[in-house]
Amino acid sequence: MTQASTQTLPEGLVLTLTDNATAEVRKFIAAENVPAESGGLRVSVLPGGCSGFKYSLNIEDHAGDDDITADLNGIRVFIDAFSAQYLTGVTIDYVTAMQGSGFTFNNPNATGGCGCGTSFTA
């Protein structure tokens, strides 16, 4: 894992975004021409995937009305209340390997998962 910054966000949520993940998110924000003053990264957990839940990352123009919003490594992060309960302690990294590149999620609260790396059981 690359160097990381862990921060406690509003609502007591603890989330870590590594330097590699931060750099990749900045590239996506720039590529999508999202306004810096309102846009950011939505981190969410959705029902589905092969283990029951799956992670989702999206670049969005603005936060939703009920989102937890915080600055993480200079990236505005949006998290909805449903997702927040599953994200505390999660480390988001971006890795490059021979098999490919992509975001990874290390969730100490997950009780199971599968080989895809984006699906988990809690």
Answer whether 1's CB lies under 8 Å from 18's CB.
Answer: yes
Element (H, E) at 25: helix 19-31
- pLDDT at residue 48 is higher than 90: no
Q: Is residue 66 part of a domain?
A: yes
Q: Which domain holds residue 39?
A: 4-113
59 in a domain, yes or no?
A: yes
Count of domains observed in the chain: 1
Single pTM value for the model: 0.81
Residue 11 lies in a domain: yes
Does 119 fall in a domain? no
CATH code, domain with 23: 2.60.300.12
- What are the tens digits of pLDDT across the range 102-111? 898 888 877 6
**For the segment 21-47, what is each residue's pLDDT rounded down to a tens digit?**
999 999 999 999 998 789 999 999 988
In a domain, 121, yes or no: no
SS (H, E, C) 30-97: HHCCCCCCCCEEEEEEEEECCCEEEEEEEEECCCCCCCEEEEECCEEEEECHHHHHHHCCEEEEEEEE
The amino acid at residue 92 is I
The rounded distance, in Å, linking the Cα atoms of 68 and 84 is 8
Could you tell me the two tokens for 116?
């895809």
